[in-house]
Amino acid sequence: MRRWRLLLEYDGGPFVGWQRQASGLSVQALLEEAVARLAGETVTVVGGGRTDAGVHALGQVAHLDLEKDLLPERLMGGLNAHLRPHPVAVLEVRAAAPEFHARFAAIRKSYIYRILDRRAPPTLERGRVWHVPRRLDVERMHEAAQALVGRHDFSSFRASECQAKSPLKTLDLLHVRRAGPFVEVRAVARSFLHHQVRNMVGTLVQVGLGKRPLGWAREVLEARDRTAAGPTAPAFGLYLERIDYPPG
């Protein structure tokens, strides 16, 4: 038995999310079916981040255990062949230590949220960015975001269906910048509450539009009440950028 570590990217649009569901197509189930066709084994593919329906991934990490002895390039090529025509690609396969766990060994996760703030709607980026038809004040958004960095009770940014035991999380970085025609919000932490990034982005956009004052993000945080925050930003603007692990 060998444990393999996979690096993946996918377009979340067609999927009910990463995790296998009773109905609908998930990235996890699609990978497990590809493994079964390639190696003839029933496996569980464990993902490092449980992305929601519509959320994309640039650097999802997963692991699986296989009895069959395969070269890494054969496993990668075979999986990609069986994943077609779905918008999922295995970018890298490498042997992992038996104790490696894609989810529990992660020390840091980075998400990017992309916004197109122009009057004209997106064409090439349709379904991959949140279209806000007014120019955002990126500097105000970034300044407001700094009130959320650190260890806090993020109840105001937590989805009602969140299953985390505690609302306390440590946000290592929340950075807002303009990248060409887009506004990018990068959030980095060891772990996040359900919808936390999307709810923070929805709140910051209200500041960027001038609908709320600069100190509103802090007020929302201190309220510890989801109804105090801005709207939940659409899933299709969110990307799991990368997952970091201890060296070795």
Catalytic machinery residues: 52
Among positive and negative, which fits the CA dihedral 50, 53, 55, 61?
A: positive
Query: How many other C-beta atoms lie within 10 A of the C-beta of residue 225?
Result: 11
Question: Which of 60, 183, 186 minimizes the C-alpha distance to 111?
Answer: 186
Helices (H), the chain: 27-39, 72-83, 138-145, 196-208, 216-223
How big is the CA angle at 60 (ends 57 and 61), to the nearest 5 degrees? 175
Strand 168-179, strand 238-244: pairing: unpaired
